[in-house]
Amino acid sequence: MELQKAIDIYNEKKKLSLAMNHALGVLSYDNETAAPKNSYMGLANTFGVISEMEYKSKVNAEYFDVVDTLIANKEQLDPILKREAEEEEHSLKVMRSIPMEEYVEFTEMLSKAHTAWVEAKNESDFSKASPFLEKIVAYSKRVASLVSPGMDPYDFWLNEYEKGLSTAVLDAFFKRIREALVPIIKRISEKGELFRTDFMNEKCPIELQRKLSDYIMEVMHINRDDCSIGETEHPFTTHFNKHDVRITTHYHEDSVVSNMYSVIHEGGHALYELNTGDELIGSTIASGTSMSIHESQSRFFENIIGRSEEFCELIFPKIKELFPVQFDGVTARDFYLAVNKAEPSLIRTEADELTYSLHIMIRYELEKKMMRGEIEVKDVPKEWNRLYKEYLGVDVPDDRNGVLQDMHWFGGMLGYFPSYALGSAYGAQMLHHMKKELDFSSLVRENRLDVIIGWLTERIYKYGMLLGPNEIIMNTCGEPFDPDYYVNYLTEKMTDIYGL
């Protein structure tokens, strides 16, 4: 095929594909936020039609020829189209290998799986969601076996979420983390209660918590005309373009910090999407480059900034203004210590910075076993509970607070969780290098997060998917990934707080 013809056909298909992804994205967002419960009944059909259309549009000899032509001539393409073509080749590799009926059926099933998970979680009944998880595991294994026969299916999916990632890398990473952090966790637990946390579960009216969210968005320089806050069971971020980003949070009357750190975490994701380059608008690569880099940003804001003493000092006056009775007699230092209390617990999203990675490690172990057929789905809750006891020393009272707490698996994402731990480690390394150029402490204390966001935009955000994760690490750190920064960061912080 002539190159120009290939470009024209590609652009035409891209327009359709972007529109369909936009529609699917809003349908999903709506389903998780505003839709009445029974909305799922009509949704499956629409999801099915759209994914069938997408499939038919792309999985055919002509379009394979289009993409092959682009790839064969990729050095002649402008950088954006070149990266688009590479991504398309990659995603087509998966689509090409799956028969259409399976692909469509799976897409339809996913929308039902989400509804089942919400119900299962509410009723703390794993059996209501497990048939869907079984299908998701089977489908994920099947895709892996079709696309890369002979490859470990879990390695296949890790590599899908983060190019170059494998169980070999992660086994080593988690070993390093575990060996460094478990002794610290132990020493902290021997110290007993060093500071007060009684104010952490004061009742704070949700209307006022919403005002706190608005304030946090302001501090994070997030333009609300481009980014809304919704409310869901499990907070998440989604985006349709850089002028339409949605974060969600949840409000619990008796935990003001739960909402606050959800907004900061999702706000970190949002900042990435809001600051991709204008020249990427309308392309397929106007988006964060990988899950781990994305999580490096959300967790950078949530923890490295959000749980720093400087940030606590910055925002504490607003907290006292909104909740004067609840925080009567509490100081910013008290607040800083309390939000950094390291204590093994049940819920990942509410875990402290230190024990967080162990939550991920448990999910990693389970995903690996499910994908390798070393455990049946029905036995996952039992193994989950066993691992929580072994690594964190906590007893899981029910599935709601155990295996059903996260939506990821029931949304078809097996291999995503490790990116949270990796992202945390990336963030610590970025901080180290950022501090060589910026007076991080003063900037946070003086409400100048815009300077930090500017630094990150120049090195990460503006590129969207133009650069891959390893290039982003080089761009920000000038060296390859090294987990020691993360270990050092946590050790220093915990030493300060607990006087280890």
Tokens of 70: 């682009």
> Per-residue contact track with its own copies, 347 to 386, x per CB under 8 A?
----------------------------------------
Shorter beta-carbon distance to its own copies: residue 39 or 491:
39
From the list 21-29, 119-127, 151-159, 427-435, the region that binds its own copies by CB under 8 A is: 21-29
34 touching its own copies, by CB under 8 A:
yes
> Per-residue contact track with its own copies, 161 to 200, x per CB under 8 A?
----------------------------------------
Say whether 229 sits in a helix, a strand or coil.
Answer: strand
Q: Contacts with its own copies in 74-133 (CB under 8 A)? A: none
Supply the minimum distance, in Å, between the C-beta of residue 279 and its own copies: 16
Shorter beta-carbon distance to its own copies: residue 57 or 197:
57
How many residues lie near its own copies (CB under 8 A)? 40
Closest by CA position to 185, among listed 370, 297, 352: 352
Rounded alpha-carbon distances, angstroms, from residue 261 to 256, 268, 325: 9, 10, 21
Instruction: Quote the CA–CA distance of 217 and 225 in Å, as a whole number.
Output: 12
Name the residue type at position 414: L
Instruction: Quote the CA–CA distance of 220 and 212 in Å, as a whole number.
Output: 12
Shorter beta-carbon distance to its own copies: residue 53 or 474:
53
The correct pick among 3, 5, 8, 15 for binding its own copies (CB under 8 A) is 15
Tokens of 492: 């220093």
Rounded alpha-carbon distances, angstroms, from residue 154 to 115, 157, 181, 247, 409: 26, 5, 26, 29, 13
29 touching its own copies, by CB under 8 A:
yes
> Per-residue contact track with its own copies, 44 to 83, x per CB under 8 A?
-xx-xxx--x------------------------------
Shorter beta-carbon distance to its own copies: residue 245 or 414:
245
Supply the minimum distance, in Å, between the C-beta of residue 35 and its own copies: 6
208 touching its own copies, by CB under 8 A:
no
Residue 88: CB atoms within 10 Å? 22
Q: How many CA atoms lie within 13 A of 63 on its CB side?
A: 20
Say whether 60 sits in a helix, a strand or coil.
Answer: coil
38 touching its own copies, by CB under 8 A:
yes
The correct pick among 5, 8, 19, 484 for binding its own copies (CB under 8 A) is 19
The correct pick among 1, 39, 408, 488 for binding its own copies (CB under 8 A) is 39
Q: List, in sequence order, every beta strand (DSSP E) within 198-262.
A: 227-231, 237-241, 244-249
Instruction: Quote the CA–CA distance of 439 and 336 in Å, as a whole number.
Output: 20
Per DSSP, 301 falls in state I
16 touching its own copies, by CB under 8 A:
yes
Sequence-distant (6+) residues with CB within 8 A of 453 are 220, 221, 271, 275
Tokens of 176: 């390093």
35 touching its own copies, by CB under 8 A:
yes
Contact 33, 67 (CB under 8 A): no
23 touching its own copies, by CB under 8 A:
yes
32, 54, 162, 266: which is the annotated catalytic residue?
A: 266
Q: Is 62 in the active site?
A: no
Shorter beta-carbon distance to its own copies: residue 35 or 438:
35
Shorter beta-carbon distance to its own copies: residue 224 or 372:
224
Nearest 5 degrees, angle CA 494-CA 495-CA 500? 115
Rounded alpha-carbon distances, angstroms, from residue 375 to 372, 381, 415, 423: 8, 11, 16, 27
Q: Which residue has the tokens 């899981």?
A: 396
> Per-residue contact track with its own copies, 211 to 250, x per CB under 8 A?
-------------xxxxx-x---------xx-xxxx----
Supply the minimum distance, in Å, between the C-beta of residue 62 and its own copies: 18
Contact set with its own copies (CB under 8 A): 15-16, 18-19, 22-23, 26-27, 29-30, 33-39, 41-43, 45-46, 48-50, 53, 207, 224-228, 230, 240-241, 243-246, 282
Active-site residues: which are they?
266
